[in-house]
A and B are shown apart, each in its own frame.
Chain A
């Protein structure tokens, strides 16, 4: 059983920021301003990170790759 007064670990703060911390541990945040401030700061940066978009390479990227790839023919697997 975990002591409610124990500060959250870095891993627990990450879990909380992702909404995955068990409620019993999250209760600690109601009473500990130190952990609450730390958790809020952590959540802000994680939120910014998870919202980052993927970028696309320029059009024709796949064609440029495929031009330099040797697709094995099914018969290749029979060669010794």
Chain B
């Protein structure tokens, strides 16, 4: 299919999108927990992959290449977001309660949009909420391992991480998930 796409067949490009849109979108959605944003990042991923298809090296799995680009897009976004995020407790240099109140974000009674409803339904399960609490690097490893069925070696190659780091992240992620899920049951 990739070879066919490289030769310039529109149908092959569409088939690649059809095959990978769900896994790629799902990974991104669970990483950023926002449907519209995940879709923008998925679109950005596919455009980058398909416009750069000639640079694809067949010794790597095509899916690993897509997941690598998708994961980088999510991590870049999350890094930018963490820089831009304002604390709910006010500006970092606020010292007195008055300063904190004056600079804190005021959350109104925002009505739930249809998109929020879909997100609450899709990501509302305890396991999804627990995944949402993981560090981004743990999330990508655990999702590639157990949702996509990747081996540790494939994850290491996809995410450019040493094999030992991948194992550590996955074990820690599962431990944290167990903790979150067991706290909920108690």
Contacts and interface: CB of A to CB of B under 8 A. Distances in A.
Contacts, number: 94
A5 B43 CA distance: 53
A42 interface: yes
B29 interface: yes
A6 to B, nearest CB: 19
Contacts of B53: 72
Interface residues of B, number: 39
Interface string B140-176: 0010001101000000000000000001000100100
A55 B17 contact: no
A61 B147 contact: no
A61 B19 CA distance: 12
Interface of B: 6-10, 13-14, 17-18, 21-23, 25-26, 29, 38-39, 42-43, 46-47, 50-51, 53-54, 122, 127-128, 142, 146-147, 149, 167, 171, 174, 177-178, 181-182
Contacts of B42: 57, 61
Nearest to A70: B51
B interface majority secondary structure: helix
A42 B146 CA distance: 13
Interface of A: 10-11, 41-42, 44-46, 48-50, 52-58, 61-62, 64-66, 68-74, 76-77
Contact of A74 (B7, B47, B54): B7
A50 B21 contact: no
Contact of B26 (A41, A45, A54, A64): A54
Nearest to A51: B127
27 contacts: A11-B167, A42-B178, A45-B127, A45-B177, A46-B174, A49-B142, A50-B147, A52-B128, A52-B146, A53-B26, A54-B22, A55-B22, A55-B25, A55-B29, A58-B39, A61-B17, A61-B25, A61-B42, A62-B17, A62-B18, A65-B43, A66-B17, A69-B47, A69-B50, A69-B51, A71-B10, A72-B8
